[in-house]
Every structure is written in C-alpha cells, then in structure tokens.
Amino acid sequence: MIMGAVISLHFILPTGGWIYPTGVPCMEESSQEALRINERLFYFIPRDILDIPKDVLELLCDRLSISEQLQFARVCKSWHSVAFKRVNPKAHEPPSLIGLSNDPTLFGRRIHNQITCYQIQPKSFQHSDPYIIGSFKGWLCLQYYKEELIQLVNLFSNIHLDLPSLSTMKFIPSHKSLSLVGPSKHAKAFAVLFCRFLSPIMIAFVSKYGKLALCEIGGSAWEAHETDEQYVNVAFYNNKLYAIRKKYNKVDIFEIDHDLKLFHVGAIEIDNDIKLFPLAVAGSSRVTNAKWDLPFQSYLVVEPQENNLFLVMHHRKEVKVDFLTVEFEIYKVYEDRLVKVDTLGDQIVLLNDSCSEIINVKDCPPSLLFRGNQICFTSNLNKNIGIYSFKDGIVNWLPPFRTFYGIHWMLPRLVGKCTSESHTSMCCPKLSEPP
C-alpha cells in the first residue's frame, strides 16, 4: 500500500513491471566480470521513483483497488495525472453492490459475505430525493424527483454531471403526473457512450413507456425518438444504438447523426420459439396453469476487450417467498444474427434491470464467489441478489438487503474528467452523417 511520497522500488517488483537477471548467484565478493552483468542494463532502471515510465505506472495503477489508487494519486502531480487521466482506467477489485439506505448506521463501505457493499445515504448527493436508475462502468445514473432531472455521478472521483430536465422529453408526463406515480416509474433502462478515458459523451434513456431519448453531456435538452415501437433495453455498440423491442422479437439498430436523430438501419430477429415455464403461486409449492411470456427480461451487454455484443435472456421458472428460480441464455451478436453461447469463459456479467456490463475475472483479485463464467444479478422488485454459474446452472443466493433500496452491481472505477484537449477525434467516437 502506498503511503505518502516515500516509496521504494520494492513496491514495483511484485507487479512484474521490472525484470532483473536471474539464475546468477548474488554475492558481494563476486566481481562484475564473474557475474557477467551488462552495465547497460542499469540504464533502464530508474534512479528515482519519479523517473518510472508512465506506461509502467498505468499498468501498476490498474492492479490497485480504488482506495489504493487514491493513495497512489497523492504521491505527486505526475502520479495524480496517471491515476485520473489514463486511458480505459480499471480497478483491481471484485464486483461490488451499491445502494441507498436511510439507516445512518449502515453508511459507508462494508464487507458482507465476501462482497463489498457501498451504502449511501440520499443526503450524500447534490439534490434531494435521489433514485438510482442503475450503474455502468463505475458511474451511477440517478433520477431526482423534485428537480425532474437525471444525473451521472462517479462517487469515487467525485464527479457530478447534470443532464437536462425530464420535462424536455416529449413523452414524460407533467410535474403533477410525476407526483402521482413517483420518480422510479419513469426510468426503465439507459446506456452511456464513453470516450477512451471513460468520460461520458452521450446517454440514451428508455422511459417506462418504452420510448427512446438521447442527450449529449452538456446539452440543454433531450432528443426524443418518435416511433410507435416500445423498447426495454439499449446499448451503444460500434457507434450505433441497439434497442430490444418490448415484445422481445427484434433488436433494432440505429445510426445517430450530429443532431441526435436516430435512423433505423437494420434489425436482428429473435427466435420466439422459447419454452414456457409454469408459474408457481407465491408462498406455495403448487404450480398453476398460468404462464408468463418469456423471456422475463432481455439485456444487451457489450464486452469491451474483444468488442463483442451479447444478448442475455433472463427466464423465471417460478416465484417463491424469498427467492426466484431462474435460468439464463446468452447469445453473441454477429451482424444480423444471434449465435447461442454455452460459456462465458473468464468473464462475469454484472446484470442490472436498467444497464449491464461485462468484466474479466483476471481484473479482479482471487475470490471464492467470483470465478468467471457467471452472471451476477439483482432484482429491485424483491431485493433478491444472486450469482448464476453457467458451469452447473446453479444460483448462489445472497441474503436480501432489506435496508437497501435501489441495489445494483458495479465495478468501482476511478475516473477523471476528459479535458478539452483530450476530447478530440482521437478519443471520441464519430457520429454518422445524416442519410
């Protein structure tokens, strides 16, 4: 762990950043000629900790937890710049749970059943009555009731980005209607488009009515997409917007022009020949003849390392008092078709109702719970939290967090603002020209 500016190179050695000659006995009385050491090798070893190359520091920083990265950033200005301005920042931590709690005794960061829980009080945010829509790449998407706005927040970097008022969305009801249904009823899903530095550029929003709207970060209004179709989930992929229809029969593909207008450029057919599971009556083992249309929910998830897009289908087999029996199917998107995948390998899907992401287990410290080939999911309907294994199809259920509301999986990341000098075509995706 880094404490202050007094650091030795021994801190670097365990990371594998430096390779020293091996297989040679280290004896003080041995002569340089006997050891056959090339003096030129020592020119590559920094004499001062501040002379370590930037790319090595970035690799080192990616292997630290959030708390260690914050200490890393306090060493000097150059190290602070590495921590907050490196491309595609990471945090060497296992997946965490984050949620709101009104209980002051639960405030802060705790380890519960091998899972880190970030418990936040609503007063910690800039506005009153916050509701967590979801989390994505270390950012929280919040909705505020009184202010009628949406905000992106990175708690670890202390960045708050206000988005335009919900009233600028043509399909959002008036303030009087909001008071009748509550703020949580207006957000179904969202997606965020980032630059290489994980600084948000654009956000797509799906209302409870299944309508799409887009907004640039720093913009003054939401641009609503006028269509009769309704959607349940969205994702940015290869500078396009993918959206799952409410009937789960298609994934529509849109190009985005500079005015944030959506242009339909294709669709992916989803096979509707899916088995139906019987629905069990809550509190009873008796199975009724009633059936649900399946899948219960579908999600679009982008895998960043290989730049793949996946479609995850969530099926509910039955409902009981305190938990759900579920299963998942996952498909890889190949242009205009879906191919079923039987394993996720070393990857873990952090599945939320509103937005999901994929991480690699190699980026996490060793854990008994997170071994890869898994889906970590939550349900805000009844606060169930589970880890589904594709290896055996078994769900490891965690104790319900009854004192939480708005529970979501996330992987903490220390993200800095992308400066105007960095916010160029080198790091920002290009939008399509109007057709």
Question: Is there a single domain that holds both residue 63 and residue 109?
Answer: no
Tokens in use for 219?
């913009």
Average pLDDT, the chain: 76
21, part of any domain: yes
39-43, 73-77, 392-396: which range is least confident on average?
39-43
- What is 35-104 written as a DSSP string? HT--GGGGGGS-SSGGGS-HHHHHHHHHTS-HHHHHHHHTS-HHHHHHHHH-SS-------EEEEE-S-G
Residue 145 clears pLDDT 90, i.e. is over it? no
143, part of any domain: yes
Question: Is there a single domain that holds both residue 138 and residue 63?
Answer: no
- For residue 24, the model assigns a pLDDT of 37
Number of folded domains in the chain? 2
- For residue 248, the model assigns a pLDDT of 87
Residue 33 clears pLDDT 90, i.e. is over it? no
pLDDT band at residue 7 using 50, 70 and 90 as cut-offs: very low
State how far the Cα of 83 lies from the Cα of 80, in Å rounded to an integer: 5
Question: Is there a single domain that holds both residue 117 and residue 53?
Answer: no
Question: Is there a single domain that holds both residue 59 and residue 115?
Answer: no
375, part of any domain: yes
- For residue 293, the model assigns a pLDDT of 44
pLDDT band at residue 375 using 50, 70 and 90 as cut-offs: very high
Question: Is there a single domain that holds both residue 348 and residue 326?
Answer: yes
- For residue 374, the model assigns a pLDDT of 94
State how far the Cα of 247 lies from the Cα of 74, in Å rounded to an integer: 51
Q: Report whether 116 contacts 156 (CB < 8 A).
A: no
Question: Is there a single domain that holds both residue 100 and residue 80?
Answer: no
CATH of the domain at 122: 2.120.10
Predicted confidence (pLDDT) per residue in 171-210, tens digit: 655 444 444 344 445 678 999 999 888 889 999 999 888 9
- For residue 281, the model assigns a pLDDT of 32
The single residue listed with the structure tokens 């956000």 is 203
Q: Which residues contact 379 (CB under 8 A, 6 or more apart)?
A: 324, 353, 385
189, part of any domain: yes
422, part of any domain: no
324, part of any domain: yes
CA geometry: angle 131, 132, 133, nearest 5 deg: 110
Strand bridging mode 96-100 / 115-120: parallel
Q: What percent of the chain has pLDDT over 90?
A: 28
Q: What is the mean pLDDT of residues 329-334?
A: 92
SS3 238: coil
Residue 144 clears pLDDT 90, i.e. is over it? no
Per-residue burial over 232-263, b if 16 or more Cβ lie within 10 Å, else e, is bbbbbbeebbbbbbeebeebbbbbbeeebbbe
Look at residues 187, 86, 77, 194 and name the one whose alpha carbon lies nearest to residue 131: 187
- Burial degree of 195 (CB within 10 A; 0-12, 13-18, 19+): middle
Strand bridging mode 108-112 / 115-120: antiparallel
Look at residues 252, 249, 251, 253 and name the one whose alpha carbon lies nearest to residue 271: 249
Look at residues 244, 216, 242, 214 and name the one whose alpha carbon lies nearest to residue 229: 244
Question: Is there a single domain that holds both residue 55 and residue 183?
Answer: no
Question: Is there a single domain that holds both residue 68 and residue 205?
Answer: no
Q: Tell how far CA 265 is from the center of its chain.
A: 27
Which of 85, 109, 136 corresponds to the end of one domain?
A: 85
Question: Is there a single domain that holds both residue 145 and residue 33?
Answer: no
Stronger pLDDT, 254 or 315, i.e. the higher one: 254
426, part of any domain: no
- Give me the domain span that covers residue 348: 96-410
424, part of any domain: no
Residue 276 clears pLDDT 60, i.e. is over it? no
Question: Is there a single domain that holds both residue 193 and residue 258?
Answer: yes
Question: Is there a single domain that holds both residue 101 and residue 78?
Answer: no
Question: Is there a single domain that holds both residue 205 and residue 175?
Answer: yes
Which of 85, 114, 133 corresponds to the end of one domain?
A: 85
- Alpha carbon of 435 to those of 254, 258, 263, 264, 265: distances in Å? 12, 11, 8, 10, 10
Which of 85, 117, 135 corresponds to the end of one domain?
A: 85
